[in-house]
Amino acid sequence: MTRFAAPIAEQIWDMKYRLKEAGGKAIDLTVEDSWRRVARSLASVEKDSAAWEEKFYGALEDFKFLPAGRILAGAGTGRTVTLFNCFVMGTIPDSMGGIFDMLKEAALTMQQGGGIGYDFSTIRPKGADVMGVAADASGPLSFMDVWDAMCRTIMSAGSRRGAMMATMRCDHPDIEHFIEAKQDAARLRMFNLSVLITDDFMEAVKADGSWDLKFGGKVYHTVEARDLWNKIMKGTYDYAEPGVIFIDRINKLNNLNYVETIAATNPCGEQPLPPYGACLLGSINLATLVANPFAPGAEMDEAKLSDLVATAVRMMDNVVDASRFPLEQQAQEAAAKRRIGLGVTGLADALLMIGQRYGSEEAAATCEKWLKMIARAAYLASAGLAKEKGAFPLFDADKYLASGSLIDMDQDVKDAIRENGIRNALLTSIAPTGTISLYAGNVSSGIEPVFAYAYTRKVLQKDGSRTEEEVVDYAVKMYRDKFGADAELPEYFVNAQTLAPLDHVRMQAAAQKWVDSSISKTINCPEDISFDDFKEVYMAAWDSGCKGCTTYRPNDVTGSVLSVSETSEATPESDEGAEVVYLSEPLDRPQQLEGNTYKLKWPDSEHAIYVTINDIVHGGHRRPFEIFINSKNMEHFAWTVALTRMISAVFRRGGDVSFVVEELKAVFDPRGGAWMKGKYIPSILAAIGGVIETHLVETGFIEGEGMGLKTDPQAEVAVLGQKPRGKACSSCGQYDMRMIEGCMTCASCGYSKCG
């Protein structure tokens, strides 16, 4: 009997969390082996490690507690990877040397895995004086471009590109350029952007007042606050960025506001962190804790929930000691405060199981009740750990208990903290749980509504092909298993596409009351929502106490929504009539490619030229994606690099790129060509064209020699015979990108740059 509720869950485990040897041979033979590995690793620091191993195993069993993917994949493996999910890096100095020191730290951190956040508000604005060199500053946006280029070259742990968050204060002189930066589709693609909104700014917006843009005590410009707010709103209305972070509220409600100031978050926004702050994540699967689901008297099992939370807090506290860190400053910061981010997943499914409509006032009250239960249990467990193992080193009882997030906490919890201290300075956070939610049987992710009752997902197979598989929501499957495959879903079944935006806000605000960090949440808006109504969503988030707001409105830039229905039937995409796929923009490089390397020996040349061509499977067909041309002959260096870049750029744009072969084959060298294999080749470039042609024939892209296009085709952009919407997925090439929990995610293959 398999423990997995769906085939996709087992595939996720096998691809991402199963321990394997370097050659691919499985070490974890079953998911139970993976649970045992993690439980044993996290119990190893305990005095009675055997007893705690069993307790930890019980929490992991049947997907009740879901540590974040880095813990599932890395704990107990002996590998040099961090188990922490997210980092905010050090404060960027306003100097060239300091800026590039920070760039190096970012590269080292992403090399071990984990998303990073930076506040670029500390860099002087464009055009400001640079003392001593008689020059003007290039501004923070120019350095963000450098970070973006670095991120593209660093593959973080698990063969996934790094994700970054960039923040900028709403009073920085370059804030308007920051807001508009990603409206250029080719710029800052490795970043999520968020504006740090202050209380004073919101007051100025509401009062229709003026607003100074300043740096280093100097006012550079004065604008109307409402105009700047509208510019932020228009950016996210049209482009889904930038997000909004209410930074003063975050600092006021921070348990540690007596020892730190926060100016940035991790890429998905649920972890506001100080310089060098790091946080690990884990989620309680509420969908597994409902007693008598879909029956009269269905309710959350409060005793099981409290016990599971206590165990999860202990496990996550042990991760602080078990994990490696890319930088010593990060290790010191984690040890001094012992932050953890315990959250939930399966909330929407659990609400369905007790018969409540996500987004209703009743459901919001239930959400608040469950999150308070989790917060109580977490704080009491951490106070108990402090009694046993000691409080976090920077604990100060009077200052800590006076912090904003503890004002409404029950007195017995405050008394336990005052008496024993507390082991972990912050304990709760609602993280994106897209992949681990699939691993747990496709439970609803985080505190999001059910995304779709059923949809088709493309699954990468070991041979490089992709198969289509229906993915059904956990609660929907449970309902139909209980009442029959044709049972009509009750009216309280709602999904992300049909929910009113203010219902999203209501749920986020209800959860935020008992989350001491923040929440990763996307508020889905209909395409036809008016701009004024859209702005009201953000005002509602501010007025109701949220710490930030991220929305997604489908359009031709951001992409289209997934078609869903109340049946479990998913409509697969059709590729009829689509022989050649043209892309509206170049694809990013997928995580892994297959290809061939060819040796080309030009007569009378001392060194051979090596040509590597890697392919991508797109639209069911293999096509060239990139080329690398290398030679030890330094006379060839410049033109081989140029050719590598140019041809790769052409390959990535899609379409029939065979014209590249004919263009190269037509190049004649005035110094003369050479005879190769009985044929006269007019130049080295022509020889390279021949190598590319051979590869295209062997892979079936063109039918035979001489059958490539003679010129660059002028073709209308088309995707599978239809007009594309939004960006193509950089992993599978499908146009299924949409915003899920604050990060663009592919519904077709699951790829997300946020990890």
- Could you list the active site residues? 266, 268, 270
The DSSP output letter for 450 is B
Tokens 């010129």 locate to 711
Length of the chain: 755
The DSSP output letter for 729 is P
Cα-based distances in Å from 66 to 435, 438, 545:
11, 11, 28
Pick from 94, 99, 74: nearest CA to 84: 74
556's CB contacts (< 8 A; 6+ apart) are 725, 726
CB atoms inside a 10 Å sphere around CB 238: 15
Query: What SS3 state is found at 97?
Result: helix
- How many angstroms separate the first and last alpha carbons of the chain? 30
Do 294 and 478 contact (CB within 8 A), yes or no?
yes
The DSSP output letter for 148 is H
Query: What SS3 state is found at 615?
Result: strand
∠ CA(296), CA(433), CA(383), 5° rounding? Answer: 80
707's CB contacts (< 8 A; 6+ apart) are 658
Q: Could you tell me how far CA 294 lies from the centroid of its own chain?
A: 33
Question: How far is 117 from 103, CA to CA, in rounded Å?
Answer: 12
Asked if the bond preceding 393 is cis, omega within 30° of 0, the reply is: no
Do 441 and 63 contact (CB within 8 A), yes or no?
yes
Query: What SS3 state is found at 87?
Result: strand
What are the backbone angles phi and psi of residue 244, rounded to the nearest 5°?
-125, 130
* Pairing mode, strands 86-88 and 115-119: parallel
Question: How far is 653 from 405, CA to CA, in rounded Å?
Answer: 50
DSSP string, 257-312: TTT----EE-TTSS-EE-TT-EE-EEEEEGGGSEESTTSTT-EE-HHHHHHHHHHH
Question: How far is 500 from 529, CA to CA, in rounded Å?
Answer: 10
Pick from 377, 411, 409: nearest CA to 302: 377
Helix, strand, coil share of the chain (percent; to 5):
40, 20, 45
Burial of 51 (0-12, 13-18, 19+ CB in 10 A): exposed
Question: How far is 230 from 534, CA to CA, in rounded Å?
Answer: 11
Residue type, 389: K
Three state DSSP letters for 299-355: EECHHHHHHHHHHHHHHHHHHHHHCCCCCHHHHHHHHHHCCCEEEEECHHHHHHHCC
